[in-house]
Amino acid sequence: MSYRTEEVAYVQPAQPAASALAAQATQQRSTAEYRALDAAHHIHPFSDMGSLNRSGSRVIVKAQGVYLWDSEGNKVIDGMAGLWCVNVGYGREELADAAYKQMLELPYYNTFFKTTHPPVIELSALLAELAPEAFNHFFYCNSGSEGNDTVLRIVHQYWATQGKHSKKFVISRKNGYHGSTIAGGTLGGMGYMHEQMPSKVENIVHIDQPYFFGEAQGNLTPEEFALARAQQLEAKILEIGADNVAAFIGEPFQGAGGVIFPASTYWPEIQRICRKYDILLVADEVIGGFGRTGEWFAHQHFGFEPDLITLAKGLTSGYVPMGAVGLHDRVAKAIIENGDFNHGLTYSGHPVAAAVAVANLKLLRDEKIVDRVKNDTGPYFQKQLRETFANHPIIGEISGTGLVAGLQLAQDPKARKRFANGGDVGTICRDFCFNGNLIMRATGDRMLLSPPLVINKLEIDEIVSKAKKAIDATAQQLGIS
């Protein structure tokens, strides 16, 4: 049986009937017991633990395709692919088999002291095949945050090899997200994270984001506004001095920041400025990479050519942790030909993670999942969202392409007027989604969707209709109709 009913080309190996899945889960304890132990011993990321422990977490016990089951037997549709990462969907035996075989064959070996192993070799060759032509070299780590730490190391090493030792500043953006290590958190532009970081990485500065709905003043068109925001980069470079600026980093579209999609004028201008002042351009592809926009990498959707790309999440579809940095040939050459590069992690290129990544990338390629996002499910998803929410009383804009979208909640959509208590409104809506068994993420007053890339049209219809119910209920609670 296939969970994708419409497309013969995507028929899956035999899977148990969905209704049997929840029962099969190896659930050892009652929900109450799980919650009590979780509250007693587990600190969750980005959470107010006092309040979470009082209300109790939802315990997820099982997943298949685009669905999750909780410990109460509820079936939930996952509109977020976990945390923007389960691109091939849950329950793919190919990935489990790859991990199992690799664990028996060679569960671990390092790549530090003149050694290597087949999985990391295969993965690097495959990434070189799938990435844009000039990306032929990859450095491995365990997460997107470590990827961006690695980016900083490569950027500084690169300029050192060019004899330009004063090029130290990295320019990033407010409301960008680049991870939660000290370097990732500093690169990111999340004020609430900076407030809890008494020390930060030095020489990192931020410019404004290209968030048209929330920040454009007057009668600027989206294109004019995006251009003006890109030109802040030039102003910042001139302020610091081009001889002191090493790199600019940005997500092609901001994910955690609210699926902020810049107008078409933005990235070409950023690229022009980086080239003019001899500054490396880094695309953080942790969310955008591996098919999310219908292209293999989101920078291809926006039509620019970065010098470095940060990868994670969809690299293994989240089945095991892995991150990487892809180096454009011109950067790779400088790193390769100039002696030691003093950076690495015990698990750089971990054989099990690499074997899973290879199996995952082959599924994305051979089942034409990325092509399908571009030509079929992506356009359908965008059309359904835009039709369903056209003229909705609290939807101000819908951003996105392929299988990623942001829905702006707004007090007065036509006047681009946001709710004064935006975060509260997002939380209200998120709770309605949760109770309706749809996982949808709220970032302030924007509701985000990023489902597994294997989603079919029936499942897209289910997400859109559940989102509509939740957003209608939110409007009703606010007394807006």
Q: How far is the CB of 213 from ligand PXG (least distance, A)?
A: 19
Nearer to ligand PXG by Cβ, of 246 and 286: the residue is: 286
Q: At CA 318, angle to CA 315 and CA 319, rounded to 5?
A: 110
Site string for ligand PXG, 388-427 (x = CB under 6 A): ----------------------------------------
Tokens standing for residue 463: 């997400």
Told to check if 143 binds ligand PXG by CB under 6 A, we report yes
Contact range with ligand PXG by CB under 6 A, out of 142-150, 273-281, 399-407, 467-475:
142-150
Site string for ligand PXG, 335-374 (x = CB under 6 A): ----------------------------------------
Selection from 437, 429, 422, 37 nearest residue 211 by Cα: 422
- Identify any residues that bridge with 63 across adjacent strands, giving them in sequence order: 68
Residue nearest to ligand PXG as judged by C-beta position? 144
Nearer to ligand PXG by Cβ, of 47 and 421: the residue is: 47
Q: How would you list the strands of the sheet with 323-328, edge to edge?
A: 135-141, 323-328, 308-311, 280-284, 245-250, 169-173, 204-207
Contact range with ligand PXG by CB under 6 A, out of 69-77, 281-289, 349-357, 385-393:
281-289
Q: How far is the CB of 148 from ligand PXG (least distance, A)?
A: 6
Work out the number of other CB atoms within 10 angstroms of the CB of residue 46: 7
Q: Is 191 left (phi over 0), alpha (psi -120 to 50) or beta?
A: alpha
* Residue type at 99 in one-letter notation: A
> Quick check: 168 and 157 in contact, CB under 8 A?
no
| Binds ligand PXG (CB under 6 A): choice among 65, 185, 255, 426 | 255
Nearer to ligand PXG by Cβ, of 236 and 292: the residue is: 292
Nearer to ligand PXG by Cβ, of 395 and 448: the residue is: 448
State the residue for tokens 């030095």.
202
Q: At CA 294, angle to CA 293 and CA 297, rounded to 5?
A: 65
Which residues, numbered 155-194, are part of the site for ligand PXG (CB under 6 A)? 177-179, 184
| Binds ligand PXG (CB under 6 A): choice among 81, 171, 283, 287 | 287
State the residue for tokens 């051979």.
366
DSSP state of 8: G
| Binds ligand PXG (CB under 6 A): choice among 95, 171, 312, 327 | 312
| Binds ligand PXG (CB under 6 A): choice among 256, 361, 454, 467 | 256
Told to check if 144 binds ligand PXG by CB under 6 A, we report yes
Distances (CA, A) of 181 to 32, 197, 272, 332, 394: 33, 10, 30, 25, 36
DSSP state of 112: S
Q: How far is the CB of 187 from ligand PXG (least distance, A)?
A: 9
| Binds ligand PXG (CB under 6 A): choice among 70, 78, 149, 251 | 251
Distance (Å, whole) CA 143 – CA 83: 13
- Polymer length in residues for the chain: 481
Nearer to ligand PXG by Cβ, of 21 and 249: the residue is: 249
Distance (Å, whole) CA 88 – CA 369: 8
Nearer to ligand PXG by Cβ, of 344 and 379: the residue is: 344
> Quick check: 426 and 395 in contact, CB under 8 A?
no
Told to check if 247 binds ligand PXG by CB under 6 A, we report no
Work out the number of other CB atoms within 10 angstroms of the CB of residue 217: 7
Told to check if 440 binds ligand PXG by CB under 6 A, we report no
Nearer to ligand PXG by Cβ, of 127 and 478: the residue is: 127
Told to check if 284 binds ligand PXG by CB under 6 A, we report yes
Q: How far is the CB of 24 from ligand PXG (least distance, A)?
A: 29
Q: How far is the CB of 290 from ligand PXG (least distance, A)?
A: 13
At 201 the three-state DSSP class reads coil
State the residue for tokens 């081009």.
242
Q: What's the alpha-carbon Rg for the chain, to the nearest Å?
A: 22
Nearer to ligand PXG by Cβ, of 251 and 367: the residue is: 251
Chain residues in the site for ligand PXG (CB under 6 A): 83, 143-145, 148, 177-179, 184, 251, 255-256, 284, 286-287, 312, 441
